[in-house]
Chain A
Amino acid sequence: MPIIEKLAFYMEFPFVRYAIIVGVLISLCSSLLGVTLVLKRYSYIGDGLSHVAFGALAVASIFKLTNNMLLILPVTIVVAILLLCTGKDTRIKGDAAVAMVSVGALAIGYLLMNIFSSSANISGDVCTTLFGSTSILTLKASDVYLCVGLSVAVLAVFVLFYNKIFAITFDEKFAQATGVNAALFNLLIAIIIAVIIVLAMNLVGALLVSALVVFPALSAMRVFKSFFTVTVAAATISVVCSLAGILVAILAGTPVGSTIVAMDIVAFFGFYITSFIRSR
């Protein structure tokens, strides 16, 4: 069957269309905040928070919660606030705190799943959650509505408070001096990041979430220089790579999450070479 015909055939399935809608929204949101996180030297926080979400998922599955988002989202938000808003004044500093939370939550989550899980296929459950092999293709309409709602909220906050986010990204103290409530906006950024990480786990799995946050921003920074152009370019790169990754995965039968990340890596090297050629 020719590729276009095969793609048209696959597009008839609702779960493929759901995957594309959710994939585009998640990659758009994660790339927008990715620029801020990379510039604030918090690139690795996505990894830490996704492992926290994995731990919360393990607890939710033990208690057999019908909607595990009710536990995962608040827990991840609380940890994001603790890491981003109190990092500078604590005894355990930024990167060490992220590393500690990251491996701690991963280990405890896996331990709890092994001890208490009633599932017959624990390794399969863990593998799916960590690498998101097909989870994006198993979404229900209600999951998609939740994702659309949360994504619109994230985009609204980013668009409406763009200037304030820009100010605290580059110089928090200066922003504070000019009357920006830096603490409030840091809190807002922490909440948004937690929401994005929880959503992105469905797309690429817990271990690969950082790629969605970091790669588009770093690719855009190779070629573009202003905050606005980097943000727009990062969003475009992220959406194109996710879309291409999902389509390649369903056509070639490869794991969705790692295919998307592979696309992001290809884009990064493309932009890196472009920047190298331009600088000569």
Chain B
Amino acid sequence: MSKSFLKIALLVVFSIFCSSSICVAKGPDGSGNKVDVDLAKMSGTMVYAQVYQMVMDPRKFIGKQIRMKGIFSSYFDDETKRRFYGCVIQDALACCSQGLAFELSKPRKYPKEYPAEGAEITIEGTFDYEEVEDGVSFPIIKNAEMRY
């Protein structure tokens, strides 16, 4: 009887420990540094997981300063007649890719003043969340500086 009680007590303590570990989990907040989320100094796996968080829950990151290293990609939307520029990263298996759109602080002419598709770029700017007409919304880095 006492052994069973001890086993149950241990399990209860264990589950409380796990739950408290979840409760104390807090993200890296703006620590006064210029860049709040520096994806450029993270490993590929971490970058992929962090960008996933930004895409799935963009409201948490609005206004934060982001730095990101990835592959340059662009896409022209026929409906809105707007060209989107993106910084794309691949996961460790290279079967999935995701990225963030960006908008440069000083507009440039495409394609003359942009890097070639697939070139490695580093962008730095403010994270925002843009809603378009048909209810579709997407995260975008605004006022961005681009290096390549």
In the complex, A127 Cα to B91 Cα: how many Å? 11
Return chain A residues, CB-CB under 8 Å to B56: 138
**Does chain A have a CB within 8 A of B105?**
no
Return chain A residues, CB-CB under 8 Å to B19: 145, 148
**Does chain B have a CB within 8 A of A82?**
no
A140-174 CB contact bits vs B (8 Å, 1 = yes)? Answer: 01001100110110011001100000000000000
In the complex, A17 Cα to B28 Cα: how many Å? 12
Return chain A residues, CB-CB under 8 Å to B97: 124
CB pair A254–B27 under 8 Å, yes or no, is no
Given contacts A127-B93, A253-B45, contact A17 B21 (CB under 8 A): yes
Q: Within the complex, which residue of A18, A25, A155, A160 is in contact with B25, where a contact is CB–CB below 8 Å?
A: A18
In the complex, A252 Cα to B10 Cα: how many Å? 35
Chain A interface SS verdict (over half): helix
B contact residues, range: 20 to 34
Q: In the complex, how many residues of chain A place their beta carbon closer than 8 angstroms to a beta carbon of chain B?
A: 41
CB pair A250–B46 under 8 Å, yes or no, is yes
Return chain B residues, CB-CB under 8 Å to A145: 19, 22
Given contacts A128-B95, A133-B92, contact A256 B45 (CB under 8 A): yes
**A3 CB → nearest B CB, Å:** 11
Return chain B residues, CB-CB under 8 Å to A149: 15
CB pairs A–B below 8 angstroms (19 shown) = A1-B41, A10-B46, A13-B46, A14-B25, A14-B27, A18-B25, A128-B91, A137-B48, A138-B52, A141-B25, A145-B19, A152-B11, A155-B14, A160-B7, A160-B8, A249-B92, A250-B45, A253-B44, A256-B45
Return chain A residues, CB-CB under 8 Å to B18: 21, 25, 148, 151-152
Return the 4 tightest CB-CB contacts between A and B, nearest first: A253-B44, A253-B43, A127-B95, A137-B49
CB pair A148–B95 under 8 Å, yes or no, is no
Given contacts A14-B26, A124-B95, contact A155 B44 (CB under 8 A): no
Minimal Cβ-Cβ distance residue in B for A17 = B25
CB pair A134–B50 under 8 Å, yes or no, is no
In the complex, A206 Cα to B26 Cα: how many Å? 30
CB pair A18–B22 under 8 Å, yes or no, is yes
Other than the given A15-B50, A249-B45, A252-B43, 5 more pairs (CB < 8 A) read A17-B25, A128-B96, A137-B48, A137-B49, A138-B56
Return chain A residues, CB-CB under 8 Å to B22: 18, 21, 141, 144-145, 148
Minimal Cβ-Cβ distance residue in B for A137 = B49
Minimal Cβ-Cβ distance residue in A for B57 = A140
B94-118 CB contact bits vs A (8 Å, 1 = yes)? Answer: 0111000000000000000000000
**Does chain A have a CB within 8 A of B4?**
yes
In the complex, A259 Cα to B148 Cα: how many Å? 32
**Does chain B have a CB within 8 A of A131?**
yes
Given contacts A133-B92, A141-B22, A252-B43, contact A155 B48 (CB under 8 A): no
Return chain B residues, CB-CB under 8 Å to A131: 93
**Does chain B have a CB within 8 A of A255?**
yes
In A116-140, the 8 Å CB interface with B consists of 121, 123-124, 127-128, 131, 133-134, 137-138
Return chain A residues, CB-CB under 8 Å to B7: 159-160
In the complex, A16 Cα to B48 Cα: how many Å? 12
**B12 CB → nearest A CB, Å:** 9
**B87 CB → nearest A CB, Å:** 17
Return chain A residues, CB-CB under 8 Å to B8: 156, 160
In B56-76, the 8 Å CB interface with A consists of 56
**B14 CB → nearest A CB, Å:** 7
